[in-house]
Amino acid sequence: MAKEGDLVKLKYDKGTAEGVLMPSSKEGVVVIKLDNGYNIGIEKKKVESMTVIQKYSAKETPAKPIAQKKGLPKISILHTGGTIASKVDYNTGGVIARFTPEEILAMFPELRDIANVESRLIRNMWSDDMRFAHYNLMAKEVEKEIKNGAEGVIITHGTDTLHYTSAALAFILQDLPIPVILVGAQRSSDRGSSDAATNLIAAARFITKTDFAEVALCMHKTESDDSFFILPATKTRKMHTSRRDTFRPINQLPWAIIEGEKIIIIRKNYRKKSNSKLKIMPIKENLKIAFLKMHPNMFAEEFECYKNFDGLVLEGTGLGHAPISEIDEFTKEHTKIRKAISELAKKMPVVVSPQTIYGRIQINVYSPGRELQEMGVLGNYSDMTPETTFIKLAWLLSNYPKQVKEMIVKNIVGEISERTEPEGFLL
């Protein structure tokens, strides 16, 4: 039976064709790559026979051992996904993930003059599949690298939930002695516009040239390849589906900007490298925390379905509001919603966050907001993003379950700003 990568000969209604069997994105179509480099697709129903001329055999080039350079710091790269460390096999059209130090340096040779690199895979997954257990796993792997003498750790990660993971690690990794920088790639490594290499190299350069010791993200500042942000772990969000500069700081300025080999420190109040002992404070893996976005025409059932959860984050409209006012014959459902929220707040922490993303919750300004406070809804004056609110609530319930009410609006790892930076809006 023919498999992808095999050299095959097809006989079909219009003649014969010979080439390499390729992956097909369309059901019912056979795709082969011809000698001239072009692909052709033939409907399976029109294929009379397929003969294997030669079976595909992947050719692996033995990696040369890495010579450690004296005087260079040691950086560990932990991989959770394949996009940023992968290359195309043009025989099959597939992407092959590469994770060993030798393979990483072969793909990104610039790293040789920046640091001595250790690299390994801890998971190979889509970021949408992340669960609390994976955050705890990453934290333990960071701890191992610190014990093995790493002076910085880079974690490669899918971009879709990268900002959830950065927030989680910021809370879990307490008293961090070295930097932990998360990087991703918006463009696959098989594309000329890929940002995989540039993000990784910029993160390594930042680690080796500064005394920074926080969890942070390193991603493009602009669409070009010469400017990058070092972004705060708990105040960053993915803001575009495909742009390379999708990650933006929210209600805060970035830690730094990298332009080529130049590093510009924007905020100096970061944690410095030290000999402190790392303390891991994990998130309980079986916690059930929910999101609910406020919107027109809501029903009480939308709230009631979370009665068996451990916590609920409401994405409030405006300053942090919900539809709880019965003002005419069309809004009788809002009385039921008010009751549903009140009942939930008696069973679990219910925290409001701004669905506007930017700005600060102020549920003491208008009467609906004051009613929410009276019902037990938490979060007033917070400027945390909804994603960070979600992560912080889970972390507090895991480590300080009796102090959630007081600590949810207390700044712990930079998630709540003392004042809103006007320059941080749409930066």
Residues annotated as catalytic (active site), given as ranges: 83, 159-160, 238
- Neighbouring CB atoms inside 10 A of 133's CB total 13
| 322 closest CA partner among 359, 289, 353, 358 | 353
Region of residue 5 (phi > 0: left; psi between -120 and 50: alpha; otherwise: beta): left
Are 142 and 161 in contact by the 8 Å Cβ rule? The answer is no
Strand runs labelled E in 57-104: 74-79, 86-89, 94-97
| 140 closest CA partner among 104, 101, 180 | 180
Give the three-state DSSP class for 4.
Answer: coil
- Neighbouring CB atoms inside 10 A of 287's CB total 15
Where does residue 69 rank: exposed (0-12), middle (13-18), buried (19+ CB within 10 A)? exposed
Maximum Cα–Cα distance across the chain = 78
